[in-house]
Amino acid sequence: MTFALSIITYVDRVCISTAAPDIRSALGLTTGQMGWVFSAFVFAYAAFEVPSGWLGDILGPRKVLARIVLWWSAFTMATGVVWNYASLLIARFLFGAGEAGAFPNMSRSLSRWFPVRERGTAHGVIFMGSRLGGAITPLLVGPIIAFAGWRTAFWLFGALGVVWCLFWWKWFRDDPAHHPDVSPEELQLIQEGGPPRDNKLSIRTLLNLNLLWICLMYFCFGYCLYFYLTWLPTYLRDGRGFSDVTMNEIHTIVLLSAAGASILGGRITDLLTKRYGLRIGRAIGAVGMPLSGLALAVAALAESDVMAAAALVVAAGAGDLCLSPSWAMCHDIGSDGAGTVTACMNTFGNIGGSLSPLVVGYAVQWWGSWTIPLLIAAGVAVLGGVFTALIDTRQQLVRNYDDM
C-alpha cells in the first residue's frame, strides 16, 4: 500500500513539471514565476511537515494518511481549473500543505510493521515507488496533454488518490497486533531487536547535534532532487535542444535510475548495518552525494548534449543511493517517535527543495545560463556528503525511556 501511495505522490508532483511548458504558454508565465509555482508547493510542504509527522505519532498513520491523501487529491484536481498566476500559486500551496507528512507517516507505519534489520530495504521499496511514479509520469502526461489538454491530466491523477484511500482505510492497522491476518509468530518476528514501544519525544530531545547533521544532509539532498522534479524537462528542451518526445524519455530514464538506486541503497544499508553496525551501514551518502555532485558538474560543463543527459542519469542514481539509509537513520535515532524525526529531516529537505527551483529559475532569467545553477547543485551535493560523514546513528535521541 505504501509502495502504491509513493507512486501516486510522485505522479502528482511530476505532472506539473512535465506540463510546465504548456502551463507557462497558457497562462503567460515567466521562468521566475514558474519557479515560484514550483516552490509554493514545497514551501507549504515544509511548513506543515512536522505537525503532520507529529500527528502520525499521536493518532497513527492510518487516520493521518487518509486525511493527507484526500486533501492533496482535491488540490491536484484543483490545479486543472486555475485561470491565472495567482490561482495557480494558491492551488499549489494548498496542495503542498495537504501532502505534508505523507512520507513521514509512511515511514512511521514501517516502524511498527518491520524489524530493524529490514527497514532499509522497506524504505527502498517505498522510494523506488516514488521514482517509478515520477518516471512513468512524463510518458503518461505527454499523450494526455496532446489528446485532452494539461488540465485533464490533473483531474485524472487527482482521482487516483481517492481510490487508494478506500483500500488503505479498509486494510491497514496502525499496530500489526490488531490486524486479523498477523499471527503471534509474525508479530514476534516484527518486534525482534526493536526498542520499547510508545516512547515520547520532547522538544528538548530534538535539539540534538546528531539530528542537525541529518537535517542539513537532507537539505542538500532535497535541493538536488527538486531540480529533477521541476526544471529538468525544461532544461532538456530549452537548454539542450531535445525534442518533447526525447525530453520525456530522458526524464523517465533519469528517474528510473533513481528508482533502481533507491532499492539498491536500501538493500546495501541493511547488509552493511548487519555486518559493520549502524555508523558505517547508514553512511552511504558520504560517497553517493559527492559522486552525484561530480556527475552534476560534468552535466553542467559538457559540450555534448548526450554526455550531459548521461551524467544526469548518473547524478540522480548516485544521489538516491543515500535516500533509504537517510530515512532508516531517523528510525535508528528516533525509535517510536520516527514520525516526528522523519518530519524534521524532511522539512529541511523541502526547504532545500523550495529554494532549488527559485535559484534555477532566476539564474536562467537573469543570466541566461543553465551552467551556473547546475554547478551550484553540484557543490550542494558534495556538502551533503560531508554532513553524512558527521552522523552517528548509534546515538538515540531517547536514551532513558523511563524519563520521558
Q: What is the DSSP string of 39-66?
A: HHHHHHHHHTHHHHHHHHHHH-HHHHHH
Q: What angle do CA 80, 82, 83 make, to 5 degrees?
A: 135
Cβ pair 332, 393 in contact under 8 A: yes
Q: Which residues contact 70 (CB under 8 A, 6 or more apart)?
A: 161, 162, 165
Q: Is the pLDDT of residue 404 over 60?
A: no
The reported pLDDT for the residue numbered 119 is 80
Residue 21 CB neighbours (<10 A): 18
Max Cα distance, the chain (Å): 63
275: exposed, middle or buried (Cβ count in 10 Å: 0-12, 13-18, 19+)? exposed
Question: Which pLDDT tens digit goes with each residue over 48-64?
Answer: 988 888 888 888 899 99
Question: Which pLDDT tens digit goes with each residue over 214-231?
Answer: 999 999 999 999 899 888
Q: What angle do CA 161, 51, 220 make, to 5 degrees?
A: 85
DSSP designation for 355: H
Q: Is the pLDDT of residue 262 over 60?
A: yes
Percent of the chain past pLDDT 70, that is, above it, reads 94
Helix, strand, or coil here: 7?
helix
Question: Which pLDDT tens digit goes with each residue over 333-363?
Answer: 876 677 788 888 988 998 998 899 889 988 8
Helix, strand, or coil here: 8?
helix
Cα distances from 23 to residues 79, 117, 247, in angstroms, run 10, 45, 17
Average pLDDT over residues 162-167: 93
Alpha helix ranges (H) inside 172-231: 184-190, 203-206, 209-226
Q: Is the pLDDT of residue 294 over 90?
A: yes
CATH of the domain at 136: 1.20.1250.20
The reported pLDDT for the residue numbered 336 is 65
Question: Which pLDDT tens digit goes with each residue over 103-157?
Answer: 889 988 887 888 877 888 888 888 888 888 888 887 888 788 888 889 998 999 8
The reported pLDDT for the residue numbered 344 is 87
Q: What is the DSSP string of 85-136?
A: HHHHHHHHHHHHHHHTTHHHHHHHHHHHHS-GGGHHHHHHHHHHHHHHHHHH
Q: Quote the domain boundaries for residue 285.
A: 2-403
Phi, psi (5° rounding) for residue 352? Answer: -60, -40
Domain count, the chain: 1
